[in-house]
Structure 1
C-alpha cells in the first residue's frame, strides 16, 4: 500500500467556552471525519519495579510516559455512507502515522491505527459503525505554513477602495460642460443617495456608524453642487457612503444583504443617447459614477465575507458563487468596453473572495435539510437543532441567509430549510 504523508495539523478550536458541547468538535483521522459516540483513553507511566530479597518495600524506576491510546466508537452515515466508510478505511489502513483529532478536546495527535473493526446492517441502513484503536506514534508534527486568506482578502479590498476616488477624479468632469450635463450628474448622485438609504434601511444600525452615515448623506444632494466641481472629494464621499452603509451592522451577513444591491447599482439606468461632445461627457460621467459605486460595494462585500465564520460548505459555496457572479458580469462588461483596468479590479475582488472562502470552508460539513412543522422564529429553530450556546445566534443568522427568509421572526412552517452544521442525531 502506498505511503501516505502525515496530515498537517488543522487549526485548533478558538472557543473559550467551558461547556463540553461548545468544546466538542468533529473527530477525524488523516482529515476523514466521523461522528463519535464514545471514547476510552489510557495512559500512565512505564515503571520498572524491583522487589529485592529480604526487603519489604519495592524499588521503582520511572522509565518515562507510556504511549497514549484512544479507543473510539464512532460511525459514518448518510445516503453516501459507503463512500465515507471506504474513505475512513483507506485512512485507517494507510502506512505510517496520521493526525488524529480528538472529538472531546479538539487536541491533535500523531497516531497509528493499531486496530479497527466495523459493522453495518440492514436494520441500520445507511450507517457503518466503527471501533478504532489509536496509539500515539511519537512522530513530530510536520511544520506547515498557512496563508491568512481572510486578512489577504480584506487587504485587497481596502487597497482597491483607496484607489477608486483617484481613478474617478480622472474620468469625471463638468468643467465647461453644458448645464444639462451637470444636472444629469446631480440627479445620478441623488439616485446613489436614495439607493444608499434603501440599503441602509435593511440594516437598522445604531450608534456611531449610523451618525457617520447620516453625516455623509447630508452632503447629498444638498452639497452636490460643490462636490461636482471637486471630483476627488465627490469620489471619496461616494466611497465613504457605501462604506457607511456596510458599517451600519456589526453582523457580516447583514452587511452582505445591505451592500449587495449597491454592487448591482445602475443596471436599470438608461444609457445616454447621442454622440455630441456634451452627450459623450454626460455618458462618461454616468459611467464613472456607476462604476465607482459598484466597485466600492464589491470591496465591502469581500470585506464582509472575510469576516464570516463559515460552518457549512454549502452556505459558503452559495455565497461565493452569488457574489462572484456579480464580479464576473461587471468584469466581462468592462472588458467588452475595452476597460481592462476596470475588469482587472473586479477580477482581483473575485479572486480574493474565491480564495478566502474556498480555503476557510474546505472540509466543512455540507449541511442538511429540515422542515419545521409550524411558523416560528429562526432562533427557536436554531436552539432546537443545535442547543443553547454562543453559536446559536450565528446559526439562526446563517439559516436566514441561506434560505432567504424575509423576516427572522417568522420562518414559514412546512417548507424545507437548508441548515448549516452537522445533522443532529435526534432528528
Structure 2
C-alpha cells in the first residue's frame, strides 16, 4: 500500500512477510452500528504530537505502611492515602499516516524525543481518560525501531500524574477533622466503659479511687475554665482596635460585644461548667453516663474560649494533667492504679480531641506558624497513639491516627501557601510605619509588623526582628 492509516487494519508486504497494525481508532471496526464506544475514544497525543495507540494500562491503589508486631499473626496495614497513579501506553508512529497526517516519520520521532526531554509537566491525551498532566521519569519514553518494521516506530510511555505544586485551597481538613473527632470520641467512650467494667468487681476501693481521681481532674479543669472565661481572654472579641496585647489572630470578632456582655458570657460559661462537673461526679457509678458527661464538659470548656490559639494553649496544659501516682503493689493497689489511669485517660483523650478541633479552626499567620502548631498538636496526638498501641487498644489507636492525619492535612492546606518568616536586620531603631513601607511597600501592614516584632513602642522598632518575608 502507498499510504498508511491508523484508522483501520493495514498490511504491508515486504520480503520479511506481512506486518499488520492496529491503529488508534481501529476499535471502531469491531463496534456495532450505533455503538457509541468508538466515538468516545480521543486521538492520543503527547505535547500536541499525535500518535496511534496499541494498548494502555494503569496501576492504582493506596499507600500502605505495613506494620508487623512480635507474636501477632496479623499485621496492621496503615492507610497513608491514595497512591500515585502509574500508567503505561504503547503506541506507534508510522509514515504517511492518514489520521495523524505524519509525512516524515523521522522528524516526528525527533520531535517526540525533544518533547519528552522538555522541563515541567506535560500534557498527554489518553484515548479513554482524556487530557492528563503527567511527569515522565528517566526512561519514561522508549522508542523502538527495527529493520523488519521499516517506517514504523513503536513508542512506550511510562509516566505518573504530575500533581500540583501549590497546596489545596479547599480546606478539607475542616470537614474531615470533625468527622474523625466524633469517631475518636466514640472509641474513647467504649474503651473507658470496658475498662471500668473490668475492674468494678474489686469493690468499694475502686469506687473510692474513681471518685477521688475524678475530683482531682475536675478541679484542674474548672481552674482552666476560670482562666478561659476571664475578661482578659474574652477582650479579643471586642470590635475596634484595642491594642496589640488584646487583639490577636484566630479570634471571632463580634460587632455587638461589650465589656458587660463578655462578663455575663464568662459567668454563664463558668456556671455551666460547674453544673456539668457535678453531673460527672454524680455518675461515677454509671460509666456510660460518666463518659457522656465528661465529653460534654470538655466540649463546653473549649467553646467558652473565643480564640483558637488560646484554645490550643489552655487545653495543651490540660492534656498532661495527672494526680499524684499511687504506690501500692497489692492486688487491690494494682487495680486502684488502673482505675486512676482510666479516669485520667478519658479526660486527657477528650482534651486531645478538642485540641485537634481547635487546630482545624486555627488560621495560621505564616507558614512557620502553621508548622509550629502542627508539630505541637501532632506531638500530643502521637504520644497518645503510642500509649494506646502499647496498651493494645487498637480501636482508640486507629481513631487517633486518623484524627492526626486530618489535623496534618488541615494545617497543610491552611498554611502551606503562606509566607515564611524572615529575619530582618537594620543599623538603627526605626518607626514601624517607615519599616512597613520599606519592607512591604504598604503602610497598612504596620499593625501586623508591630505584632510580629513586639517593640516597646512602635516608634522605636528593634534593630533585629522576625516578620513575614512578603
- Per the normalisation by structure 2, the TM-score is 0.48
- Counterparts in 2 of 1:309 and 1:388: CA distance versus 1, 3 Å: farther
Contact between 1:186 and 1:224, CA under 8 Å: does it hold in 2?
A: no
Residue of structure 1 aligned with 2:175, choices 143, 146, 151: 151
- Counterparts in 2 of 1:225 and 1:199: CA distance versus 1, 3 Å: closer
Aligned-pair CA distance for 1:354? 0.9
Residue of structure 2 aligned with 1:171, choices 185, 192, 195: 195
Deviations 1:171-207 (A, max 9, x none): 2257454433222212211121122123224422545
1:324 aligns with 2:348: no
Contact between 1:295 and 1:346, CA under 8 Å: does it hold in 2?
A: no
Report the Cα distance in structure 2 between the residues aligned to 1:170 and 1:388, rounded to whole angstroms.
60
Aligned-pair CA distance for 1:288? 1.9
2:153 alignment counterpart:
none
Contact between 1:213 and 1:244, CA under 8 Å: does it hold in 2?
A: no
**3-state SS in 2 of match to 1:346:** helix
Query: Which of structures 1 and 2 has the bigger CA Rg?
Result: 2
- Per the normalisation by structure 1, the TM-score is 0.52
Aligned-pair CA distance for 1:415? 9.5
Contact between 2:370 and 2:415, CA under 8 Å: does it hold in 1?
A: yes
1:313 aligns with 2:367: yes
Report the Cα distance in structure 2 between the residues aligned to 1:360 and 1:320, rounded to whole angstroms.
11
1:196 aligns with 2:221: yes
Report the Cα distance in structure 1 between the residues aligned to 2:365 and 2:169, rounded to whole angstroms.
23
1:264 alignment counterpart:
320
User: What does 1:14-33 align with in structure 2 at a 5 Å threshold?
Assistant: none
Report the Cα distance in structure 2 between the residues aligned to 1:154 and 1:384, rounded to whole angstroms.
42
1:236 aligns with 2:261: no
2:328 alignment counterpart:
273
2:347 alignment counterpart:
293
What's the RMSD between the two structures over aligned residues?
Answer: 4.5
Aligned-pair CA distance for 1:95? 9.2
Report the Cα distance in structure 1 between the residues aligned to 2:206 and 2:411, rounded to whole angstroms.
42
- Counterparts in 2 of 1:333 and 1:179: CA distance versus 1, 3 Å: same
Moved more, 290-299 or 211-220: 211-220
Contact between 2:187 and 2:396, CA under 8 Å: does it hold in 1?
A: no
Aligned pairs, number: 273
Report the Cα distance in structure 1 between the residues aligned to 2:414 and 2:301, rounded to whole angstroms.
26
Report the Cα distance in structure 2 between the residues aligned to 1:414 and 1:191, rounded to whole angstroms.
45
User: What does 1:67-216 align with in structure 2 at a 5 Å threshold?
Assistant: 148-173=172-197, 175=200, 177-203=202-228, 204=230, 205=234, 206=262, 207-208=264-265, 211-216=268-273
Report the Cα distance in structure 1 between the residues aligned to 2:365 and 2:469, rounded to whole angstroms.
9
- Counterparts in 2 of 1:416 and 1:271: CA distance versus 1, 3 Å: farther
Contact between 2:356 and 2:403, CA under 8 Å: does it hold in 1?
A: yes
- Counterparts in 2 of 1:355 and 1:145: CA distance versus 1, 3 Å: closer
Query: Which runs of 5 or more structure 1 residues have no equivalent in the other structure?
Result: 5-92, 98-143
- Counterparts in 2 of 1:151 and 1:284: CA distance versus 1, 3 Å: same
Residue of structure 2 aligned with 1:246, choices 269, 282, 302: 302
Contact between 1:168 and 1:231, CA under 8 Å: does it hold in 2?
A: yes
Aligned-pair CA distance for 1:228? 0.8
Aligned-pair CA distance for 1:147? 6.3
Contact between 2:424 and 2:464, CA under 8 Å: does it hold in 1?
A: yes
Report the Cα distance in structure 2 between the residues aligned to 1:337 and 1:155, rounded to whole angstroms.
25
Aligned-pair CA distance for 1:357? 0.9
Report the Cα distance in structure 1 between the residues aligned to 2:358 and 2:436, rounded to whole angstroms.
23
**3-state SS in 2 of match to 1:368:** strand
Report the Cα distance in structure 2 between the residues aligned to 1:146 and 1:170, rounded to whole angstroms.
39
Query: Which runs of 5 or more structure 2 residues have no equivalent in the other structure?
Result: 1-45, 49-118, 124-167, 235-261
Aligned-pair CA distance for 1:284? 2.7
**3-state SS in 1 of match to 2:283:** helix
- Counterparts in 2 of 1:150 and 1:385: CA distance versus 1, 3 Å: farther
Aligned-pair CA distance for 1:296? 0.9
Deviations 1:278-315 (A, max 9, x none): 33432332222222112211111111111122231111
**3-state SS in 2 of match to 1:156:** helix
Aligned-pair CA distance for 1:335? 1.5
